């Protein structure tokens, strides 16, 4: 059975209106090769992460929270935070995407049906569904209650299941809860919105699936009301919840990073269905703010542990980077929606940056260990007793929002590879893949992200539409080589893409991947005098584990002007390409914490004598810690010139 004859099913975020610039392909149009970076990740997710998450939902009592309400568990009390139901819903979403991705083998249909039956049993007659709140507590605390947030994840799981399997069992449950929310918070109802945005994007998706206008209206109403101060404050100010100003008026990202990005993704969905130009302008301001002042070089966001927040512009400490896994996932989702809206490659660039750095860094090679916060530096001797700064990836968390969020994203990765518009096809992410485009199967062959050569083959009949290929912002356009059906084509980049006019049979794209030293804006005080090493989209790090005996990571500095080069894989690190650089080791342990500079103002006073010159081997950041716990850093100091 060829792909072309399979009935098309939808993936995440499929706009209904014709406003967007690009439209997603059907969910099953792209098949990632299991040997590719992204395809291996999907296999790991299926084989290891999802079973692990299901087991942890049991072990943590999260599913028992539902069972005890209908007498099927003797658990004495609710366990976990008040938003813990959403972990189940995100997992159901992951299972739904897996059912669509691998329709011939559905090992979790049984558990899915059991869970849905359980949810239906727990659900109140009026549609309300929550394992902690009852009676007067229902919708009583919009600031911290997370009830609409939980509803949002329930809806997303239901939409995914309906799209990939056609089954409406979960959808029935979700709609009853959503209808309750419409009755309570819709037009003419309470002027309330959730302290944690998420329901906005979910309601738009529910509208897309069902055609029911009231869901879109409620999403829009949630967006329009936000900023009126309904949420109050404490212990954090209104900006923590993005409640300090109306969405249309905001100029910069603020507060809790996941909340901010989920909100932006929901606003983008509203724009996709309404075309609201003011909201789009606000989204573009927010994007520029995040990208211009408040994103780590890995794509992570959120620089404060205390409130999981963006912090001030240019406040980007690598050691205390919070860079929550969920924030990177939320950025990815926001970026995808901006890409659909605008067609601009910078949004796909950001999807790529998070996909090869901030997001995979969260997961162990075995797929069953996770990071909640993703620092860009781990100091020698760090206290690893906090789950927000552990020495190693952990199997689960008191707040376990990240692992099931990973599961649902990775299970749907292939959906983000390509899009269409009226004139043709756009390729955004490069991976070994087969892409079904109506009657044509486009094969993509590449070793990306380890090699920038990408070969596309549309078969003997060729592709009779235009093909747009993303030229990443990290690439040196002058060095990019494009060969179309045997002829070199000039690389004219517009909005981040080079367009190849159809018909076309075979395209060879070469994106050179030299190792580059990346410097930060001078206002990023935390990494002054440092560079990060990047090759293609992959950011590298140096670990204590890779240093010779006696060399301490903190005392190593790169030699200015020395060469950088790609190098073979490093044992114990699951990555194809490492990176080499020349460094010096200057033991500094005997230096006092502060010392006057005898020479007056100098950038690097009284350097220690060089103890050792060495070749540093850097490994991909997303694989740090594979060789065990220890010091790590992305930003490497540059030694003064001799």
Say how far apart CA 209 and CA 156 lie, in whole Å: 11
- Does residue number 293 form part of the binding site for its own copies (CB under 8 A)? yes
Give the footprint of its own copies on residues 471-510 (CB under 8 A).
474
Q: Which of 563, 571, 609, 642 binds its own copies (CB under 8 A)?
A: 563
Question: For residues 213 and 604, which CB has a smaller minimum distance to its own copies in the complex?
Answer: 604
Distance separating alpha carbons of residues 296 and 306, to the nearest angstrom: 18
CA distance 454 to 469: 10
Binding flag, residue 535, its own copies (CB under 8 A): no
* Beta strands 440-446 and 487-488, pairing class: unpaired
100-139 in b/e form (b: 16+ CB < 10 A) is: bbbeeeeebeeebeebbebbeebbeeebbbbbbbeeeebb
Residue from 8, 479, 501, 591 in contact with its own copies (CB under 8 A)? 591
Under the binding rule (CB under 8 A), the answer on residue 25 touching its own copies is: no
Kindly report the backbone phi and psi dihedral angles of residue 390, in degrees, each rounded to the nearest multiple of 5, phi listed first. Answer: -75, 165
Q: Compare residues 70 and 398 and give the one whose CB is closer to its own copies.
A: 398
Task: Note whether 496 and 349 are within 8 A (CB).
Answer: yes
Nearer to its own copies, 103 or 514 (CB): 514
Angstrom distances, CA of residue 397 to CA of 53, 60, 222, 573: 11, 9, 30, 25
- Kindly report the number of other CB atoms within 10 A of residue 602's CB atom: 11
Indicate the residue among 156 and 254 with the shorter CB distance to its own copies: 254
> Which of these is catalytic: 147, 205, 308, 543?
308
Stretch 300-339 residues interacting with its own copies (CB under 8 A): 304-306, 311-315, 317-320
Give the x/- contact pattern for its own copies in 382-401, rule: CB under 8 A: xx-xx---------------
Among 341, 500, 573, 581, binds its own copies (CB under 8 A): 581
94-113 binders of its own copies (CB under 8 A):
none
* C-alpha span between 194 and 272 (Å, rounded): 21
Nearest CB to its own copies, comparing residues 431 and 639: 639
Strand partners, 30: 435
The residue (of 132 and 581) whose beta carbon lies closer to its own copies is 581
**Catalytic-residue membership of 308:** yes
- Write out the DSSP string of 1-15: --GGGSPP---S---
**Shortest distance in whole angstroms from residue 348 CB to its own copies:** 17
Q: Which of 23, 439, 488, 521 binds its own copies (CB under 8 A)?
A: 521
Minimum Å gap between C-beta 188 and its own copies is: 33
Nearer to its own copies, 99 or 581 (CB): 581
Q: How far is the CB of 299 from its own copies (least distance, A)?
A: 11
Residue 67 or residue 305: which is nearer to its own copies going by CB? 305
Please list every residue from 420 through 479 that binds its own copies, using CB under 8 A. Answer: 474
The nearest distance, CB 539 to its own copies, in angstroms, is 10
Told to check if 23 binds its own copies by CB under 8 A, we report: no
Note whether 559 binds its own copies by CB under 8 A: yes
Q: Is residue 122 within 8 Å of 66, Cβ to Cβ?
A: yes
Task: Assess contact for 431 and 37: CB atoms under 8 A.
Answer: yes
Using rule CB under 8 A, residue 376 touches its own copies: no
Please name every residue paired with 377 in a beta bridge, in sequence order, or none if there are none: 633
- Residue 39 contacts its own copies per CB under 8 A: no
Q: Tell which positions 219-248 bind its own copies, by CB under 8 A.
A: 236-239
Angle between helices 257-274 and 325-342 (to 10 degrees): 20
Q: In Å, what is the CA distance from 444 to each residue of 353, 389, 506?
A: 20, 39, 10
Binding region for its own copies (CB under 8 A) out of 86-94, 177-185, 336-344, 514-522: 514-522
Encode 337-365 in three state secondary structure: HHHHHHCCHHHHHHHHHHHHHHCHHHECC
Binder among 30, 57, 526, 541 for its own copies (CB under 8 A): 526
Per-position b or e across 295-331, b if 16+ CB within 10 A of its CB: bbbbbbbbbbbebbbbbeebbbbbebbbbbbbbbbbb
Residues in 597-626 that interact with its own copies by CB under 8 A? 597, 599-606, 608
Q: Per rule CB under 8 A, is residue 377 in the interface with its own copies?
A: yes
Contact call for residues 92 and 114 (beta carbons, < 8 A): no
Number of residues counted as binding its own copies (CB under 8 A): 82
Q: Which helix (H) or strand (E) holds 171?
A: helix 169-185
In the bound state with its own copies, the residue whose beta carbon lies nearer, of 483 and 519, is 519
Nearest to 86 by CA among 194, 169, 189: 194
Binding to its own copies (CB under 8 A) within 110-139 occurs at none
From the CB of 235, what's the least distance to its own copies, in Å? 9
Instruction: Decide: is 555 part of the binding site for its own copies (CB under 8 A).
Output: yes
Give the nearest distance from C-beta 186 to its own copies in angstroms: 32
Among 229, 523, 572, 613, binds its own copies (CB under 8 A): 523
- Tally of residues, the chain: 642
Q: Does 564 bind its own copies (CB under 8 A)?
A: yes
Residue 401 annotated in active site: yes
Q: What is the DSSP secondary structure assignment for residue 544, as one 8-state letter?
A: G
Least distance in angstroms from the C-beta of 610 to its own copies: 13
Q: Which of residues 246-285 bind its own copies (CB under 8 A)?
A: 254
Which residue in 401, 402, 530, 541 is the catalytic one?
401
Residues forming the active site: 308, 401
């Amino acid at each position: 059975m060829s792909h072309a004859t399979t009935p098309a099913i939808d993936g995440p975020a499929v706009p209904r209106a014709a406003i967007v610039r690009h439209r997603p392909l059907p969910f099953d149009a792209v098949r990632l090769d299991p040997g590719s970076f992204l395809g291996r990740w999907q296999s790991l997710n299926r084989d290891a992460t999802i079973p692990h998450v299901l087991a942890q939902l049991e072990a943590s009592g999260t599913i028992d929270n539902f069972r005890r309400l209908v007498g099927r568990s003797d658990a004495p009390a609710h366990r976990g935070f008040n938003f813990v139901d959403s972990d189940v819903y995100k997992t159901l979403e992951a299972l739904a995407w897996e059912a669509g991705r691998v329709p011939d083998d559905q090992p979790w249909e049984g558990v899915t049906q059991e869970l849905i039956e359980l949810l239906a049993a727990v659900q109140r007659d009026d549609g309300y569904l929550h394992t902690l709140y009852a009676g007067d507590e229902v919708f009583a605390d919009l600031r911290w209650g997370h009830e609409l947030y939980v509803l949002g994840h329930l809806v997303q799981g239901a939409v995914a299941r309906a799209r990939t399997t056609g089954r409406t069992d979960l959808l029935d449950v979700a709609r009853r809860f959503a209808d309750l929310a419409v009755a309570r918070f819709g037009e003419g109802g309470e002027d309330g919105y959730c302290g944690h945005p998420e329901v906005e994007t979910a309601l738009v998706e529910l509208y897309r699936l069902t055609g029911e206008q009231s869901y879109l209206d409620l999403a829009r109403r949630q967006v329009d009301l936000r900023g009126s101060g309904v949420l109050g404050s404490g212990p954090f100010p209104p900006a923590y919840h993005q409640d300090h100003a109306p969405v249309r008026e905001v100029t910069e990202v603020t507060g809790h990073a996941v909340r901010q990005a989920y909100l932006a993704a929901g606003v983008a969905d509203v724009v996709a269905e309404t075309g609201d130009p003011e909201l789009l302008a606000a989204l573009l301001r927010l994007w520029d703010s995040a990208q211009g002042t408040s994103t780590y070089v890995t794509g992570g966001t959120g620089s404060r542990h205390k409130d999981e927040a963006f912090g001030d512009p240019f406040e980007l400490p690598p050691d205390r980077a919070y860079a929550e896994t969920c924030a990177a996932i939320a950025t990815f989702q926001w970026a995808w929606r901006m890409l659909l809206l605008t067609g601009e490659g910078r949004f796909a660039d950001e999807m790529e940056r998070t996909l090869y750095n901030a997001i995979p860094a969260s997961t162990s090679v075995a797929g069953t260990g996770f990071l909640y916060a993703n620092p860009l530096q781990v100091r020698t001797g760090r206290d690893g007793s906090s789950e927000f700064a552990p020495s190693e990836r952990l199997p689960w968390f008191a707040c376990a929002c990240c692992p099931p969020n990973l599961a649902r994203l990775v299970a749907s990765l292939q959906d983000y590879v390509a899009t269409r518009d009226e004139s043709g096809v756009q390729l955004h992410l490069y991976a070994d893949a087969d892409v079904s485009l109506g009657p044509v199967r486009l094969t993509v062959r590449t070793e990306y992200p380890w090699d920038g050569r990408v070969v596309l083959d549309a078969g003997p009949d060729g592709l009779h539409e235009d093909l747009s290929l993303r030229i990443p912002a990290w690439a040196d356009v002058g060095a990019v080589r494009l060969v179309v059906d045997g002829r070199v084509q000039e690389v004219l980049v517009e909005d981040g893409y080079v367009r190849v006019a159809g018909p076309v049979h075979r395209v060879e794209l070469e994106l050179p991947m030299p190792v580059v030293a990346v410097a930060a804006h001078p206002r990023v005080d935390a990494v002054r005098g440092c560079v990060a090493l990047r090759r293609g989209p992959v950011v590298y790090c140096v670990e204590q584990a890779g240093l010779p005996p006696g060399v301490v990571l903190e005392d190593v500095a790169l030699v200015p002007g020395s060469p950088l080069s790609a190098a073979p894989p490093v044992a114990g690190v699951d990555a194809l390409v490492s990176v080499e650089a020349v460094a010096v080791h200057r033991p500094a342990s005997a230096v006092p914490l502060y010392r006057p500079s005898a020479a007056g103002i100098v950038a690097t006073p009284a350097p220690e004598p060089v103890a050792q010159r060495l070749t540093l081997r850097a490994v991909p950041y997303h694989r740090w810690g594979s060789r065990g716990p220890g010091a790590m850093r992305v930003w490497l100091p540059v030694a003064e010139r001799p």
